[in-house]
Amino acid sequence: MKKIAILQSNYIPWKGYFDIIAAVDEFIIYDDVQFTKNDWRNRNKIKASGQVQWLTIPVRHSISDRICDVKVSFSDWNTKHWKTLQMNYSRAAAFRDTVEFVGGLYQSARSAYLSEINAEFIRAISGFLGIDTKVTRSSDYRYSGDRSEKLIALCKAAGANCYLSGPAAKSYLDESLFEQENIKVEWMDYSDYPEYPQMGGPFEHGVSILDLIFNTGSSAGSFMKFVKPVAHS
């Protein structure tokens, strides 16, 4: 059985996103669908002075643009983001152990395209967490259809017979169509995540994975569902 998951391209996603990646054989970044403004595509949350703050990649786009077509509008965004992260996490317990890895990510983020940047971060962070799942992009595949049909077509193109979905899709996913194609649908459960030692203010689960990495380093997997702690030299 080959299990895959398909989620839209996100910037430095939260831990649940990486747990889905770890739970499947192939993870497809869904980036040839319409870009949505003020969404997770180009921004995510961090903790700053005990409060939740958005970290946003500035982009230029039109209403009809697909995520994979969207370009950044300010070339020095990566330097600004890294300075913000340093300012807010320099006292985190694992900052000294992770500063080289995360800093290197931002230093090498040179692509003009948002989804390429997101994919680079997702692959690198997966590697840091010890996740060896194959990560691809939907824009690399040839397929067609609408909504559920598109997902089924992607599953078939990837040779998958099991599809792991995020719970939000329950409102629109037509499971019967998957059954007709002999593709089993499973649902990710995001409940009951344990809290970890997080800097400042009330605990927040829905922040970027970088918050978990800066605070727990190689022990990050201890606070996830499908990821194991890893040793870093």
Judged by DSSP in three states, 46 sits in strand
**What pLDDT is stored for residue 24 in this prediction?**
98
CB 165 within 8 A of CB 193: no
Q: Residue 185 carries which DSSP code? A: E
Question: Dihedral of the CA atoms 190, 192, 193, 197 (nearest 10)?
Answer: 150
Residue-level pLDDT at 233: 57
Note if the pTM is more than 0.85. Answer: yes
> SS3 breakdown of the chain: % helix, strand, coil, rounded to 5?
40, 20, 40
200-225 pLDDT per residue, tens: 889 999 999 999 999 999 999 999 99
Q: For the chain, which ranges sit under pLDDT 70? A: 233
DSSP class per residue in 43-80: EEEEEETTEEEEEE--EE--TT-BGGG-EES-TTHHHH
What pLDDT score does 147 carry? 79
